[in-house]
Amino acid sequence: MNAVAPTISAVASPWAKLSLGRVFWIGALLLVILVVATAHPQYSESTLGACMITAAALLPVWLWMNGKAFGFPLFPLFSATHIPTHALPLLYEHPIVSLFPANNQLIAAATVTGFLLLGTLIWYLVARSAAFMLVITARQFRSSLSDRYRGQSAPQSCNDRAVAEFAVPNFFISARCRLVFAGAGLLRLELSNG
């Protein structure tokens, strides 16, 4: 009996070809359409400030979604929260924001934008170097340790084993310390100016 098994052709779903980059641009376009349709800013400076904050807040999201930065997207999520909390109040005449003149609103928006851009730069450098150093460290330990311990039942010394076990966590602790020191430096600068 020569029975041919029926084959089910794979039907490509429209979602299968949707990349994260396209999801980002679709979401950004929907945000722009929603804001243009419903916003009523008090000043033109408020609109400019809201655009600056939104662009700076979406930059880390775009970097992560397009694969230019790696890791868990904590900073992109943090930066995206600045849109409803800092950009949209400028566009919808929030009662407290509307008490301030246009010049002060623009200065506040520039300050938030500067904070987001500086934070994005630091996050991007850490996220790129963390992934790169993880690959380099893994390659280095794979070659040197496997050659050293091949055919042996125990490590030659305790120091070699300690280095092999704690190299990657120490790198991430170091990266976190750099971020904390950068933030402390910014805080010191802000306090010395104020």
Query: pLDDT in tens for each of the 194 residues of the chain?
Result: 555 555 554 455 555 556 788 888 899 999 999 888 888 888 989 999 999 999 999 999 999 988 888 888 899 999 999 999 999 999 998 899 989 999 999 999 999 999 999 999 999 988 887 655 655 555 555 544 444 444 444 444 444 444 443 344 444 445 555 566 566 655 665 566 65
Whether residue 158 lies inside any domain: the answer is no
Rg, C-alpha atoms of the chain: 25
Residue 14 is assigned to a structural domain of this protein: no
Specify if 15 maps to a domain. no
Angle, vertex CA 19, rays to CA 13 and CA 24, nearest 5: 125
Q: Name the pTM for this structure.
A: 0.60
Closest CA relative to residue 40, chosen from 109, 81, 88 = 88
Domain range for 116: 20-146+164-193
As a residue count, the chain comes to 194
Number of domain units in the chain: 1
Give the integer Cα–Cα distance in Å for 8 and 6.
7
Residue 154 CB: number of other CB atoms within 10 A? Answer: 7
3 located within any domain: no
What pLDDT shows up at residue 39?
Answer: 87
